[in-house]
Amino acid sequence: MLGILDLLGTIGANVLSLPGILGLGLGMMTRNWILASIMGGIVGVLEPLLFAGFNFSQVGMFDMAVAVIVGVLAGSLGCAIRHRGATV
């Protein structure tokens, strides 16, 4: 069973890593909510694979799921910032 500190550490690491930061940046590049979420999700899929050397046997499904969820949420947040912050 996964402990609560492991869960919080995994979520925090993904928020401060590529899915969170790059997902937010990619989401701010578009006003399309679906496209922003898809781009964040793609970053969430690629980040664990990149750090595992593109070896699928080294990637945990829980880590992949958390990275994808964080990427989708970060992309949506970036799109929301773009919508709310745009005055033109």
pTM higher than 0.95 for the full model?
no
pLDDT in tens, 19-66: 999 999 999 999 999 999 999 999 999 999 998 888 888 888 999 999
Q: What are the angstrom distances between the C-alpha of 20 and each of 8, 14, 55, 68?
A: 14, 6, 22, 10
Write down the H helix ranges in 17-52.
18-27, 33-51
